[in-house]
Amino acid sequence: MTKLKKCAQCNSYTLKNKCSKCKKEPKDAHYKFIKIRNAPNSK
Ligand SMILES: [Zn+2]
């Protein structure tokens, strides 16, 4: 599966190993998926 990553530099999400905006290496944002799925608005 594809991992969602988040760039700590510009707060943008990416599926690649480099941020498309600032070319920084993004951090793993997998935990964000859990938060989003458990959010009340996602029903
Ligand atoms: Zn970035």
Taking only the tens place, the pLDDT of each residue in 1-28 is 678 899 989 999 998 999 999 999 999 8
Taking only the tens place, the pLDDT of each residue in 21-35 is 999 999 987 655 555
Residues lying with their CB under 5 A of ligand 1, a single-atom ion: 7, 9-10, 19, 21-22
CB 2 within 8 A of CB 15: yes
User: What is the reported pTM?
Assistant: 0.58
Closest to 29 measured CA to CA, from 16, 42, 41: 16
Give me the pLDDT at residue 41, please.
64
6 CA to centre of ligand 1 in angstroms: 8
25 CA to centre of ligand 1 in angstroms: 8
Give me the pLDDT at residue 3, please.
82
30 CA to centre of ligand 1 in angstroms: 17
24 CA to centre of ligand 1 in angstroms: 6
- In whole angstroms, what is the distance from residue 3 CA to residue 10 CA? 18
